[in-house]
Amino acid sequence: MAAPSARRGFSLPEDCIFCKIVRGDAPANIVNRAEGFVAIEDIAPKADVHLLVIPERHIETFRDVGELSESEAKRMLDFVAETARKAGLDEYRLMIFVGAGAGQTVFHLHWHILGGVIHGMPR
Ligand code: AMP
Ligand code: ZN
């Protein structure tokens, strides 16, 4: 595999903080879990409610969302909606930063769920 550019960002599953959380090797406040997906509280919340939805499989970026099967992709969307509902959110924002230039800092696909008052841009 060609070495990825710094601009694109890169992490191996062994070093990836979200893979560590999925494996239970790093702490996190887990708020929802389903087969293949986990939702946690963001460590540096930028809104009254700031959750992250993470596929257990290491996919670097939304650009590579095609690595999920059709049924996994559908279940991921359902899981995002379920996580927001379980958090008591009826109205909320969903965000995904795609690539370092767009503000992605953790190179393992994740959705931001932002509810209530937003205090800043997730980074
Ligand atoms: P992004 O800019 O989309 O890559 O966002 C990464 C998000 O992950 C940021 O909002 C961080 O605050 C959050 N984050 C980083 N490390 C952790 C962690 N160990 N537990 C929970 N959230 C984290
Ligand atoms: Zn990972």
pLDDT of 1 strictly over 50: no
pLDDT of 77 strictly over 60: yes
The CATH number of the domain where 80 resides is what?
A: 3.30.428.10
58 is catalytic: no
Mutate which of 63, 105, 112, 114 for ligand 1 pocket (most atoms within 8 A of beta carbon): 105
**Whether the CB of 30 sits within 6 Å of ligand 1:** no
pTM: 0.92
- Ligand 2 centre distance from Cα of residue 85 (Å): 25
Q: Which residues surround ligand 2, an ion (CB under 5 A)?
A: 13, 16, 18-19, 58, 108
What is the token pair recorded at 1?
């595999």
Q: Considering the domain boundaries, does residue 48 fall inside one?
A: yes
pLDDT of 10 strictly over 70: no
User: What percent of the chain shows pLDDT beyond 90?
Assistant: 85
Give pLDDT tens digits for 29-61.
999 999 999 999 999 999 999 999 999 999 999
pLDDT of 6 strictly over 50: no
Q: How confident is the model at residue 9 (pLDDT cuts 50, 70, 90)?
A: low
How many structural domains is the chain composed of?
Answer: 1
Domain span holding position 70: 17-117
